[in-house]
């Protein structure tokens, strides 16, 4: 747990971060300022070109490349001790001169003279050195705290708070992390941090779809791609969001733009899943509906606005167990807070329970005995196609499932048995963010009369009936 010293707010910290730390409250321990701790003389920025500022906001010049490499290596491992041999490797990468250890000592002495409060900032330890700096003055530390709090808030069902926290964390980035520091130690760390940011951006898109809508997400993705057009995953998210928002022509244009950029810069083609996605978009524009998306110009037969208020209240009344509404294609149209906490993967306009259960890797850890459940879901797909063999959603999902290696392995061993409903289906769930113990639940499916295709699903404990839960 991070302890936030009760020092004055650094003028170079973003204002939204100060507000974020005040608003989080839970999980943050405040302590009185330690009289023996060094004064926070420096502010360090690593999430972009590395920069160091003094207490007055003035840049601190580092006059040699060796000094830069030594200082930023100390910052990256702070507050831990870094041995002399690691500093030597960071500076010379295996081609150090015989005088390397003397040069390190001279560099440390120079840094202590040139940096504000340098003597107390860099401490000599047995066999190496340690940098002592207020963690709230390092943007990388604040970024990691934002990620941690985002996870906690989302697990507690506060999606809006999680989105605001993650947005504040993403604002700390000014470009590629450690940009301008060459060499293996820094390059490896830079790549790892960029991957960390990419994963966080995916989380932001998922939360923002739920809280802000697709237009905001599309605008953000286009800005991100304009800054760095090579990550294919960003293009894929953009294309999928455009497609699910009823804008397939724009999605196809973005695919072609991505294809040209990848071919020109990396001399590679888009991945197979993206090529398959593009073919489905072509089919939609040609008149056939793609996965979970209606033909162009037509509205969804059932959408969130058409879920009756009394059903929403029914879901709310099932707390603290999950309850949700599905349409005939298993799109999740509405869910209560318990469902949001238990299944954070099933959020956003494109949330589809059947697709998640069959194809999403997270389902294979959440659903104990996933093989058995997957065969039930495949049976549901086959049953739906027997009733309507031209259904584009189930046709495409069946093809995608059969092309998935894990599902294909199941089909090679077992024969699919058609299943009409999963009401009464028993599940064992692994949800460590809810409880460390496995959860035993039963699915109860209710079909409101006159609401064609709409289904209400409630998950209860095996020893608890639906009537008892409602009572």
The residue behind tokens 């286009």 is: 222
d(CA 458, CA 286): 39
Verify that 3 and 151 share a domain, yes or no. yes
pLDDT band at residue 153 using 50, 70 and 90 as cut-offs: very high
d(CA 141, CA 134): 10
Verify that 117 and 49 share a domain, yes or no. yes
What is the rounded average pLDDT of the residues 446-460? 81
pLDDT band at residue 292 using 50, 70 and 90 as cut-offs: very low
Which pLDDT value is given to residue 282? Answer: 83
Segment 30-39, tens digit of pLDDT: 333 343 444 4
The residue behind tokens 């549901």 is: 380
Pick the range with the lowest mean pLDDT from 243-247, 317-321, 390-394, 419-423.
419-423
What is the rounded average pLDDT of the residues 102-108? 94
Kind and range of the H or E run holding 338: helix 337-342
Which pLDDT value is given to residue 337? Answer: 85
Whether residue 13 is predicted with pLDDT greater than 80 in this model: the reply is no
Instruction: Of 47-56, 297-306, 356-365, 443-452, give the range with the top mean pLDDT.
Output: 47-56
Q: What's the farthest any 2 CA atoms get from each other in the chain? A: 85
Verify that 54 and 173 share a domain, yes or no. yes
Kind and range of the H or E run holding 101: helix 100-114
d(CA 430, CA 254): 38
Verify that 92 and 38 share a domain, yes or no. yes
Which pLDDT value is given to residue 410? Answer: 87
Residue where a domain stops, chosen among 246, 270, 296: 296
Q: How many domains does the chain have?
A: 3
Verify that 108 and 32 share a domain, yes or no. yes
What is the rounded average pLDDT of the residues 323-331? 89
Give the range of the structural domain holding residue 264, as residue numbers without chain letter.
Answer: 213-296
What is the rounded average pLDDT of the residues 114-126? 90
Verify that 238 and 327 share a domain, yes or no. no
The residue behind tokens 């069959």 is: 358
d(CA 97, CA 66): 13
Verify that 202 and 235 share a domain, yes or no. no
Residue where a domain stops, chosen among 189, 208, 227: 208
Kind and range of the H or E run holding 85: helix 84-92
d(CA 351, CA 362): 14
d(CA 330, CA 208): 22
CATH number at residue 252: 1.25.40.10
Which pLDDT value is given to residue 23? Answer: 41
Verify that 57 and 179 share a domain, yes or no. yes
Verify that 225 and 276 share a domain, yes or no. yes
Which pLDDT value is given to residue 360? Answer: 86
Burial of 350 (0-12, 13-18, 19+ CB in 10 A): buried
d(CA 14, CA 204): 19
Whether residue 142 is predicted with pLDDT greater than 90 in this model: the reply is yes
Percent over 90 (pLDDT), the chain: 33
Verify that 178 and 281 share a domain, yes or no. no
Tokens of 251: 């999605």
CATH number at residue 438: 3.30.450.180
CB 353 within 8 A of CB 362: no
Whether residue 193 is predicted with pLDDT greater than 50 in this model: the reply is yes
d(CA 248, CA 283): 10
Which pLDDT value is given to residue 464? Answer: 54
Measuring CA to CA, which residue among 220, 273, 308, 269 is closest to residue 403?
A: 273
Percent over 70 (pLDDT), the chain: 83
Segment 354-387, tens digit of pLDDT: 999 998 888 888 899 888 888 888 988 988 888 8
CB 469 within 8 A of CB 458: yes
| Average pLDDT of the chain, as a whole number | 82
CATH number at residue 124: 1.10.10.10
Residue where a domain stops, chosen among 191, 208, 225: 208
Whether residue 26 is predicted with pLDDT greater than 80 in this model: the reply is no
Verify that 198 and 313 share a domain, yes or no. no
Verify that 20 and 152 share a domain, yes or no. yes
């Amino acid at each position: 747990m991070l302890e936030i010293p009760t020092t004055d707010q650094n003028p170079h910290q973003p204002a939204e971060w100060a507000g974020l730390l005040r608003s989080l409250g839970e999980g943050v321990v405040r302590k009185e300022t330690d009289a023996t701790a060094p004064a926070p003389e420096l502010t360090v920025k690593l999430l972009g070109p590395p920069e160091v500022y003094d207490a007055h906001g003035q840049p601190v010049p580092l006059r040699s490349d060796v000094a830069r490499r030594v200082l930023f290596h100390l910052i990256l491992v702070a507050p831990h001790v870094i041995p002399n041999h690691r500093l030597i490797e960071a500076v010379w990468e295996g081609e150090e001169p015989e005088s390397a250890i003397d040069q390190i000592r001279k560099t440390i002495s120079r840094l202590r003279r040139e940096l504000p409060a340098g003597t107390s900032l860099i401490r000599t330890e047995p066999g190496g050195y340690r940098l002592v700096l207020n963690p709230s003055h390092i943007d990388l530390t604040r970024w990691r705290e934002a990620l941690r709090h985002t996870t906690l808030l989302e697990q507690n069902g506060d999606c809006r708070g999680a989105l605001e926290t993650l947005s504040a964390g993403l604002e700390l980035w000014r470009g590629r992390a450690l940009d301008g520091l060459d060499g293996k130690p820094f390059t490896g760390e830079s790549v790892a941090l960029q991957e960390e940011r990419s994963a966080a951006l995916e989380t932001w898109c998922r939360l923002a779809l739920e809280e802000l809508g697709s237009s905001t997400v599309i605008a953000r993705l286009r800005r991100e791609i304009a800054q760095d057009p090579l990550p294919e995953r960003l293009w894929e998210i953009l294309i999928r969001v455009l497609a699910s928002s009823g804008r397939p022509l724009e999605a196809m244009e973005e695919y072609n733009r991505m294809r040209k950029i990848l071919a020109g810069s990396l001399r590679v083609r888009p991945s197979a899943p993206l090529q398959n996605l593009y073919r489905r978009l072509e089919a939609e524009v040609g008149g056939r509906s793609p996965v979970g998306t209606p033909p162009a110009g037509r509205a969804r037969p059932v959408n969130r606005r058409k879920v009756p208020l009394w059903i929403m209240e029914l879901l709310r009344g099932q707390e603290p167990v999950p309850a949700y509404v599905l349409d005939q294609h298993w799109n999740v149209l509405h869910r209560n807070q318990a469902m949001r906490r238990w299944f954070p993967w099933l959020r956003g306009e494109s949330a589809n329970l059947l697709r998640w259960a069959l194809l999403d890797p997270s389902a294979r850890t959440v659903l104990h005995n996933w093989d058995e459940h997957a065969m039930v879901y495949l049976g549901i797909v086959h049953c739906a196609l027997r009733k309507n063999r031209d259904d584009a959603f189930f046709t495409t999902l069946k093809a995608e499932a059969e092309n998935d290696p894990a599902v294909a392995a199941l089909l090679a061993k077992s024969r699919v048995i058609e299943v009409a409903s999963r009401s009464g289906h028993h599940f064992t769930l692994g949800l460590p963010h809810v409880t460390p113990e496995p959860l035993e639940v039963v699915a109860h499916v209710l079909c409101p009369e006159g609401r064609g295709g709409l289904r209400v699903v409630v998950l209860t404990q095996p020893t608890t009936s639906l009537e008892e839960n409602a009572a």
